[in-house]
Chains A and B, each alone.
Chain A
Amino acid sequence: MAQYIFRRMLLMIPTLIGMTLVLFAIVRFAPGLSTGGGAFSTAGEMSNKQSRAEAEKIMQRRLHLVDAQGNKIALPMQYIYWLSDTVRGNFGESIQYNQPVAKLIKERLPTTMFLNLISTFIVYLIAIPGGMLASVKRGKTFDVLWGFSTLALYSLPIIWIGDMMIGFLANPRYLAWFPATGIHSTDTSRMTFVAYVGDYLWHVVLPVLCLSYGGFAYLSKLKRAAMLDNLTQDYVRTARAKGLSNFVVITRHVFRNSLLPMITVFAGIIPGLLGGAVIVETIFSIKGMGDLMLNATFARDLPIIQAVAFIGSVIALICLLIADIGYALADPRVSYD
C-alpha cells in the first residue's frame, strides 16, 4: 500500500511541473508585464509616495524579471527562480500589503478549507441518500422530481441566492436570523469553546448552504447510475434468491458496491468548490483565499494571484491523490503494482 501511495505521488510530479509551467506562462506573457508599461501601469493601491515607475520596478524585482542591478533575467531563469522560491514555501512579498504572501495565505487558508470541507460533507450527506432513493423509485414521481429539482438547484446562480439569503435572512429590515458577514463574532476571545463553535456554526450556515446546494445534482445522478448498474448484477439476484429482504439487499449489498464512483469524483468537485468559495467569500465578506485573490486582482498584486492559483491547484491535486488512495482502499480489485 505504502508503495502504491509513493508511486502515485511520483506520478503527480510531472503534473505539478506542468501546472507551474502553465501558471508561469499565464503570468509572464501578460501584456505590459515585461515592457513595464501598458495595462500593467495601473498597479493598484500603492502608497502615494511611490511613483508608478517605482512600483513597477518593485513588481519586476519581486517577480524575478530583473536582478538586483536592474538587468533583465532570461525567461527560463525567471521560471527556475520562481519555482525554487515556491518549492521552499516562499511566495514572495505582496505588493498591496507589503507582507510575505505565505503569511497572508496561512491566515486565510484554514477558513476556506473548513468552509469547503463542511460543504463537501453536506453534499455527500444529501446526495447519496437522494440518489439511492431515486434509483430505487426509478421512473416514479420521486425520481423525476428529484432529478428535476437537483438540476434546478444546480442552475441556481450562487450570486443570486447568496444576495437573497443575506437580504431576506440577515438584514434587520426583514429577518435578521443570521449574521451577514464574517465567520466569527467580534468578541471571540471571551467565549467558551462550545460557545465559540456555536458562534462559528451560526456564521457559516448561509455560506455553506450557498456552497453546497449546487453539488447535489452531479453526485446524486452518479449515485443513481451506479445503483442502477449494480441492481442488474447477478449477485443481487442471488441475494434476493436466498430470501433477503429488499431493504437489506439495497442497503447492505447494492449501496456499498455503488459507493466507488462517489470516491473518484471527490477530486473532481474540489476545484469547483474552491471557485465557489471565491464568490461566497465575496458575498459574505469572509476573509478567505477567494477574497484575497479577488482583491489582489483589483490591485494587480501578481505575487498573490500567482500563489493563490498555485495553492488552489496543489489542493486539487492532493484531493486527486486522496481519491485515488480511497479508491484503492475501497476496491480490492485495484492492484497496488
Chain B
Amino acid sequence: MPLLTHGCPMTNTDTLTPALAAPDSRVRTFWSMVWRIYRSRLINRIALMWLFLIIVIAVIIPFIANDAPYTVFINGHREFPLFRNLTRIDLIILIFAAAAATFAVVFRHTLRLLLSLDELRAKRLRWALALLAIATLSSGVLYLVKSDYLDNRDYHQLAQSGQLQHPVYAPLHWGFADQEPLNLDRVFEYPSHDHLLGTDGNGRDALARLLWSVRIVLAIGLISEVIALVIGVFYGAINGYFLGRVDILGMRFVEVVEAIPTLFLLITFVALYGRNIFMLMVIIGLTSWTGIARFVRAEFLRIRHLDYVTAAKASGLPVRSILFRHMLPNGLTPVIVNFTFGVAGAVGSESILSFLGIGVEPPTPSWGSMLNEAGNPAETFRWWLAIAPGLMIFLTVFAYNIIGEGLRDAIDPRTNKAE
C-alpha cells in the first residue's frame, strides 16, 4: 500500500499530534486514498451531500410530514399522537439510523487513538458487529412485540372544529395519504400557503407525498441492487473461477438475459407476478445482475493467475475458501462502481414502472406515480405537480451517477495514472 497522506477530514488532530508521533497514527488505507481522490472534486462532494440529505429525510420523514401533532390536549388530556402513531417500520429505520450514526462517531473517534492499522480495523469491526447485532436484535424484538396503532382520528377535522388545544404540529402537517377534509374543490390546487406544492387529484398535499416518496425510492433502489449484486457476484465468481464448460454455458445465459430488452422483461414480470413493493425489488434485481456478473467474471479471470491464488490452491484449500475468502475480497472493490450505477438504474426503473401505472400501489407515494397522477400533459398540464417529482428523480439518479463516476476515477488505477 503506497504511503500517502490520508484523506480523512481531521483538523484538530494534525496540530495535536506532533510530527514525531508514530507514522501509524495517520491511517493510510486503500479507502482513505480513494476518499482523498474522490473528494477532490466539488461535484462529487455535492452528490454525496444530496444522497446524505435524502437518506436523512427518509429516516426522519414521520417527524417532518405528519398530520398527527407531536403533542396536543384533547378533552384536557395531553397526548402524543405522532409518537404513538409511529409504525414498526418507522422505529426499525430509526434504530438502524441510530446505529449507523453511532458507528460514524466511533469511526471518527478511533482515528484519534493512535492505534496501528490492524488494531484500528479490529476495533472498528468489533463496534460495527456489536452495533449491527444490537440493532437487528432490538428491531426483531420490536417487530414481534409491538403492533401498529391504527389512528382513526382526522386531525384536520378535529382542528377545524376546535377540539385540539395547544397542538404542536410537525413542520408539514400532512401525511402522504391525508386528504383535504371533504372538500372537492381543493383537488389539483395551485401551490399556496397551505400546500406549498399544491394538491393532487385526491386533495393530498404534494410536498408531503414528495418527501414520503424518498423512502420507497431509496429502499427499492438499494435493496433491488443488493439482490442484483449477490446474484451477479456469485454468478460471475463461479464462471470466472471454473471457466471451461461452466463458463461457456453460463455466459450464454448472460447473453440471453441481456438480449431481452430490460423494460420488456420488467413489464412481463410485473404483468405475471404481481406488483407489491417486495416483488418490485426482486424483479428489478433479477433484471439487472448481468453487468455485475460480467464484471466479476473478468476480475476473476485476472486474479486467478496471481501468485497468492496459486499458493492457496497448492496448499490444498477447498474451493469455497479460495473463491470466497481469497479471491472475492480482492475482486469485489471495483464492483462498488457498478453497484452505484446500478442503483441509479434501479431508481430509474422504479420511477418508469410507477409512471406506467405498474409500479408501487397507491396510496404509497413514489415520484414516478406522482408524475403519472399529474395527468395527461396534452390536455390540462399541471406543471406544478409534474416539475417537482421529476426533478427529484433527476437529482437522485444524477447524484448516484456522479458518485459512480467519481468512485471509478478514484478506484481505477488507469485513470489515476493518466491524470
Please report which residues of chain A, range 32-68, place their CB below 8 angstroms from some CB of chain B when the two chains form the complex: 33, 39
**Contact with A30, one of B261, B273, B383 (Cβ below 8 angstroms):** B273
Cβ-defined contact, A15 with B355, below 8 A: no
For A18, A300, A302, which residue has the most chain B Cβ atoms within 10 angstroms? A18
Chain B interface residue count, CB cutoff 8 Å, equals 52
**Contact with A320, one of B259, B269, B348, B418 (Cβ below 8 angstroms):** B259
Cβ-defined contact, A271 with B381, below 8 A: no
Cβ-defined contact, A26 with B268, below 8 A: yes
Cβ-defined contact, B262 with A275, below 8 A: yes
Bitwise, B151-186 to A at CB < 8 A (1) or not (0) is 000000000000000000000000000000000000
Report if A297-B256 is in contact (Cβ < 8 Å); known contacts: A33-B272, A279-B352.
no
**Contact with A15, one of B252, B268, B402 (Cβ below 8 angstroms):** B252
Please report which residues of chain B, range 258-286, place their CB below 8 angstroms from some CB of chain A when the two chains form the complex: 258-265, 267-274
In Å, the complex CA distance between A322 and B73 comes to 73
List residues of chain B with CB within 8 A of the CB of A228: 418
In Å, the complex CA distance between A154 and B269 comes to 25
Cβ-defined contact, B264 with A297, below 8 A: no
**Contact with B377, one of A14, A171, A279, A298 (Cβ below 8 angstroms):** A171
Bitwise, B282-315 to A at CB < 8 A (1) or not (0) is 0000000000000000000000000000000000
With both beta carbons as reference points, the residue of chain A lying nearest to B270 in the complex is identified as: A297
Report if B378 contacts A (CB, 8 A): yes
With both beta carbons as reference points, the residue of chain B lying nearest to A28 in the complex is identified as: B272
List residues of chain A with CB within 8 A of the CB of B257: 22
Bitwise, B341-356 to A at CB < 8 A (1) or not (0) is 0001000100110011
With both beta carbons as reference points, the residue of chain A lying nearest to B393 in the complex is identified as: A157
**Contact with B261, one of A27, A163, A271 (Cβ below 8 angstroms):** A271
Report if A83 contacts B (CB, 8 A): no
Tell me, rounded to whole Å, the shortest Cβ–Cβ distance linking B241 to chain A. Answer: 22
Binds B, one of A94-102, A236-244, A250-258, A306-314: A306-314
With both beta carbons as reference points, the residue of chain B lying nearest to A180 in the complex is identified as: B378
Report if B398 contacts A (CB, 8 A): yes
In Å, the complex CA distance between A126 and B255 comes to 28
Cβ-defined contact, A293 with B377, below 8 A: no
Cβ-defined contact, A181 with B256, below 8 A: no
Please report which residues of chain A, range 272-305, place their CB below 8 angstroms from some CB of chain B when the two chains form the complex: 272, 274-276, 278-279, 282, 285, 290, 293-294, 296-298, 300, 302, 305
Please report which residues of chain A, range 213-227, place their CB below 8 angstroms from some CB of chain B when the two chains form the complex: none
Report if A159-B390 is in contact (Cβ < 8 Å); known contacts: A167-B383, A173-B381, A282-B356.
yes
In Å, the complex CA distance between A161 and B391 comes to 10
With both beta carbons as reference points, the residue of chain B lying nearest to A278 in the complex is identified as: B263
List residues of chain B with CB within 8 A of the CB of A317: 259
Tell me, rounded to whole Å, the shortest Cβ–Cβ distance linking B195 to chain A. Answer: 20
Cβ-defined contact, A22 with B271, below 8 A: no
List residues of chain B with CB within 8 A of the CB of A26: 265, 268-269, 272
For A158, A166, A173, A275, which residue has the most chain B Cβ atoms within 10 angstroms? A275
For B255, B357, B358, B374, which residue has the most chain A Cβ atoms within 10 angstroms? B255
Cβ-defined contact, B378 with A170, below 8 A: yes
Cβ-defined contact, B386 with A160, below 8 A: yes
With both beta carbons as reference points, the residue of chain B lying nearest to A165 in the complex is identified as: B377
In Å, the complex CA distance between A320 and B282 comes to 28
Cβ-defined contact, B274 with A159, below 8 A: no
In Å, the complex CA distance between A180 and B379 comes to 9
With both beta carbons as reference points, the residue of chain B lying nearest to A159 in the complex is identified as: B355
**Contact with B390, one of A160, A174, A271, A316 (Cβ below 8 angstroms):** A160
Interface bracket on A: 35 or more
Bitwise, A150-178 to B at CB < 8 A (1) or not (0) is 01101111111101101110110110000
Cβ-defined contact, B344 with A155, below 8 A: yes
With both beta carbons as reference points, the residue of chain B lying nearest to A14 in the complex is identified as: B252
Report if B368 contacts A (CB, 8 A): yes
Cβ-defined contact, A157 with B351, below 8 A: yes
For B356, B391, B393, which residue has the most chain A Cβ atoms within 10 angstroms? B356
Report if A159-B378 is in contact (Cβ < 8 Å); known contacts: A164-B390, A308-B264, A312-B264.
no
Cβ-defined contact, A313 with B358, below 8 A: no
Cβ-defined contact, B252 with A18, below 8 A: yes
Tell me, rounded to whole Å, the shortest Cβ–Cβ distance linking B114 to chain A. Answer: 40
Cβ-defined contact, A309 with B260, below 8 A: yes
Report if A332 contacts B (CB, 8 A): no
Cβ-defined contact, A15 with B261, below 8 A: no
**Contact with B393, one of A152, A160, A168, A274 (Cβ below 8 angstroms):** A160
Report if A129 contacts B (CB, 8 A): no
Report if B33 contacts A (CB, 8 A): no
In Å, the complex CA distance between A228 and B383 comes to 43
Cβ-defined contact, A27 with B419, below 8 A: no
Cβ-defined contact, B377 with A167, below 8 A: yes
Tell me, rounded to whole Å, the shortest Cβ–Cβ distance linking A9 to chain B. Answer: 15
In Å, the complex CA distance between A320 and B257 comes to 14
List residues of chain B with CB within 8 A of the CB of A168: 381, 383
In Å, the complex CA distance between A321 and B379 comes to 43
For B260, B356, B387, B389, which residue has the most chain A Cβ atoms within 10 angstroms? B260
Please report which residues of chain B, range 321-341, place their CB below 8 angstroms from some CB of chain A when the two chains form the complex: none
Cβ-defined contact, A160 with B260, below 8 A: no
Cβ-defined contact, B268 with A27, below 8 A: yes
List residues of chain B with CB within 8 A of the CB of A158: 352
List residues of chain A with CB within 8 A of the CB of B268: 23, 26-27, 297, 305-306, 309
Cβ-defined contact, B274 with A300, below 8 A: no
Report if B52 contacts A (CB, 8 A): no
Tell me, rounded to whole Å, the shortest Cβ–Cβ distance linking B260 to chain A. Answer: 5
**Contact with B256, one of A19, A33, A171 (Cβ below 8 angstroms):** A19
Report if A326 contacts B (CB, 8 A): no
Tell me, rounded to whole Å, the shortest Cβ–Cβ distance linking A300 to chain B. Answer: 6
Report if B253 contacts A (CB, 8 A): yes
**Contact with A155, one of B252, B394, B419 (Cβ below 8 angstroms):** B394
Report if A235 contacts B (CB, 8 A): no
**Contact with A18, one of B256, B262, B348 (Cβ below 8 angstroms):** B256
Cβ-defined contact, B267 with A271, below 8 A: no
In Å, the complex CA distance between A309 and B253 comes to 16
Given A18-B256, A278-B264, A309-B265, 6 further pairs, Cβ under 8 A: A15-B259, A180-B377, A274-B263, A279-B352, A306-B268, A309-B264
Q: List the interface of chain B (C-beta within 8 A of A).
A: 43, 252-253, 255-265, 267-274, 344, 348, 351-352, 355-358, 368, 371, 374, 377-379, 381, 383, 386-387, 389-391, 393-394, 397-398, 401-402, 405, 418-419
The 4 lowest CB-CB distance pairs between A and B, nearest first, are A160-B390, A275-B263, A30-B272, A167-B381
CB-defined A-B contacts under 8 Å, sample of 16: A14-B252, A18-B256, A19-B260, A26-B269, A31-B274, A39-B274, A155-B344, A160-B394, A167-B378, A170-B378, A181-B378, A274-B264, A279-B356, A297-B271, A297-B358, A312-B264
